[in-house]
A = this chain, B = another copy of it.
Amino acid sequence: MLSTLYKFPFAFAIVYYGVIPLGYLTKWWTTDDKMKGNSTILVTGGAGYVGSHTVVELLNNNYSVIAIDNLVNCYSNGQNEKPESLKRVEKITGETVTFYNVDIRDREALDKIFKLHKIDSVIHFAALKAVGESVQIPLTYYQNNIAGSSTLFEVMAKNGVKSLVFSSSATVYGNPQFLPITEEHPTGQGCTNPYGKTKYFVEEILKDVCASDADWKVVLLRYFNPVGAHESGLIGEDPSGVPNNLMPYISQVAVGRREKLTVFGSDYRTPDGTGVRDYIHISDLAVGHLKALEKMLDPSFASWKAYNLGTGRGYSVLEMVKAFAEASGKQIKYELAARREGDVAACYADATLAKNELNWTATRDIKDMCKDTWKWQKTNPKGFQKS
């Protein structure tokens, strides 16, 4: 019935004008992006950790999704096959994700996708993200994250798609000058590693793009520390090699893949001496992207705006270890070690602006974060690779 209604105007047009350009018909028959009634979102880095969880929320909320990824950081059975994370997303949602194995540095391939699909907005996750690695191979990070992003923005502008949600990070604030960190906190000062600088630079590039062309609408989402997994346990964080972040490390200790956790710094001026961070459940973070998309649709929204996505509450390393032990029923072996250069004592968000302007707030607590991480880890001890 619905499809009949959709086809009616075209039938009418054929009768009335006699002929419809072939390209138009082809487009109509080959893509049904708009059939779902909501917008079509291009998600770069859609197979990654934050990407895949965001795609779940998009599909559950009636968006059509075109996901692209170069697969450097996610598991797939082959270069031409849909990555495992997106197959799982389809299992969770019962919806289909259109996927392309495309690198954002590949201008021609990007352009083809914009020509093939009627894309309304872009959520841009694609980036390299390992802090330590970025110090070792900075040019690779600048090429991927800066040159790649700027190529994506050029192709978007060329195709008239000028609304974007950018996956930024609290790392743009550098060493916090005050706590909790508001969006007014200076950015770019004391970003000590290339990864953090690429996030800051892309923010600056987007600000300049918005200043140059009033048609652009951009939301910069500054993530604090995303953890957890989808409640189904089907998707989650799947770092290659030794995890860079606390939570996957803890969970790999719990599941027996690593012997013990090393806690860097136990003499910080925090309640228990270990570093305090603002952990946020990945599904809450994902919902934040939908709220950002809705915000951009508001006619009053213009130019760019940055929002913190955090809970506003900090937890120490040892609090996380304890919570994870309780959720998993496993003992988490750890040792205390010296501070790591570049680490700060505490970092947590003032999340008021997102609450007031995006109508978004984190709803999942530390127990949910640990429980869902453990469910994912336990059922997928080797991540997406066939266990």
Contact = CB atoms under 8 A, between A and B. Distances in A.
Best-buried of A137, A153, A197, A208 by chain B (most CB within 10 Å): A208
Contacts of A150: 139, 142-143, 146-147
Interface in A140-154: 142-143, 146-147, 150-151, 153-154
Contacts of A135: 208, 211-212
A114 to B, nearest CB: 15
A48 interface: no
A278 to B, nearest CB: 26
Interface in A190-226: 194, 197, 201, 204-205, 208-209, 211-212
A383 interface: no
Chain A interface bracket (under 10, 10 to 19, 20 to 34, 35 or more): 20 to 34
A212 B142 contact: no
Classify the interface of chain A: helix, strand, loop or mixed: helix
B143 A151 contact: yes
Contacts of A154: 139, 143
Best-buried of A143, A157, A212 by chain B (most CB within 10 Å): A212
A273 to B, nearest CB: 30
Nearest to A146: B146
Contacts of A137: 212
Interface in A110-162: 135-139, 142-143, 146-147, 150-151, 153-154, 157
Copy number of this protein in the oligomer?
2
A212 B138 contact: yes
B138 A142 contact: no
A333 B328 CA distance: 81
Contacts of A142: 146, 150, 205, 208
A189 interface: yes
A233 interface: no
A239 interface: no
A52 to B, nearest CB: 28
A310 interface: no
Contacts of A194: 205, 208
Contacts of A138: 205, 208-209, 211-212
Nearest to A142: B150
Contacts of A275: none
A188 interface: yes
A173 to B, nearest CB: 14
A277 B203 CA distance: 31
B139 A147 contact: no
A212 B136 contact: yes
A138 B207 CA distance: 10
A362 B135 CA distance: 37
A110 to B, nearest CB: 14
A142 B154 CA distance: 10
Contacts of A188: 188-189
Interface of A: 135-139, 142-143, 146-147, 150-151, 153-154, 157, 188-189, 194, 197, 201, 204-205, 208-209, 211-212
5 contacts: A138-B209, A138-B212, A139-B153, A146-B147, A146-B150
The 6 closest A-B pairs by CB, nearest first: A147-B147, A138-B208, A142-B150, A194-B208, A139-B154, A138-B212
Given A143-B147, A147-B147, 14 more contacts: A135-B208, A136-B212, A138-B209, A138-B212, A139-B153, A143-B150, A143-B154, A146-B146, A146-B147, A146-B201, A147-B150, A147-B151, A189-B189, A194-B205
